[in-house]
Amino acid sequence: MVLRVDSLSKHYGKLKAVNGISFSVDEGEIFALLGPNGAGKTSTIKCILGLRKPSGGKISLRGRAAYLPEEKQLYENLRIWKMIKLASWYTQDFAEKKAIKLAEDFGLNSREKISNLSHGMKTLLYLALVLAQDADIYIFDEPTWGLDPLMRSKVLDMIKELSFQQKSVLYTSHILPEVEKVAQKVAIMNKGKILEMGELDDIKEKYVAVVTGKGEKMKDGWLYKETESEKVYVVKREDRPDGEAATFEMIFEALVKGREDV
């Protein structure tokens, strides 16, 4: 086990951004922490990295962590090659030549000034800096935001490769199809709490979709969609074994919405 989070809480005044969550990430595992904006994902990551002081709970992190933040802030006045050189001076276990090679592979011109880069290009430069580090766990907060489909696929392959090298990955993304491509284990989070967690395939097997009439209400289900004539619920398979297969996107959206009577 590389990372263990036990009953972690983080409060900002009366706001409970993280409310007693627990999970772990094993060696070689890609773990996706999912949820809408404001769910508590970034606060959780910052507590793990020591960038925020937890209000409660315990965090155990074995080894070194490399971090790609949601906000890809770099020194705008520097050129790419200088940014890489600066990172080599201040970052432990950093391979400067690897960072240069990654930047080139991403199609970046090392002479280009960072202020001239698009959002997606800044993400790629930051990825080059993070992937050039030799860490035990790589923490990616929205690593493909702003990338075109081809480059997104390339980055996802690189993240999967980390797992093959027995490196651990903690990963957040709003793009659920890409999560399904790389993650082995997921946790669905909302309003500071974890609603569901487990192996991705097990979660998809755990729930089914059930269609009811407009006026019906399922106490044991989560409403996914409502039309003029019917409702579509996500329900645990054990409660409705006759239900149809539910996609992960349906499960995620329904659980985040919550039950109708809550």
pLDDT category at 75 given cuts 50, 70, 90 is confident
| Integer angstrom CA distances of residue 110 from 60, 82, 94, 119, 124 | 38, 8, 18, 16, 12
Chosen CATH of 3-199 out of 3.40.50.1980, 3.40.109.10, 1.10.287.110, 3.40.50.300: 3.40.50.300
Q: What is the pTM of this model?
A: 0.92
Which three-class secondary structure string do you get for 115-178? HHCCHHHHHHHHHHHHHCECCCEEEEECCCCCCCHHHHHHHHHHHHHHHHCCCEEEEECCCHHH
User: For residue 77, is pLDDT > 60?
Assistant: yes
Give me the residues paired with residue 18 across strands: 10
Spatial CA neighbour of 147 closest among 162, 159, 138, 165: 159
Which tokens belong to 80?
């790419």
User: For residue 261, is pLDDT > 70?
Assistant: no
| Integer angstrom CA distances of residue 107 from 62, 110, 123, 151, 202 | 34, 9, 12, 10, 38
pLDDT tens digits along 189-207: 999 999 999 999 999 999 9
Q: Is 186 helix (H, G, I), strand (E, B) or coil?
A: strand
Any idea where the domains of the chain sit in the sequence? 3-199, 201-257
Q: How far is residue 241's CA from residue 113's CA, in Å, rounded to a whole number?
A: 58
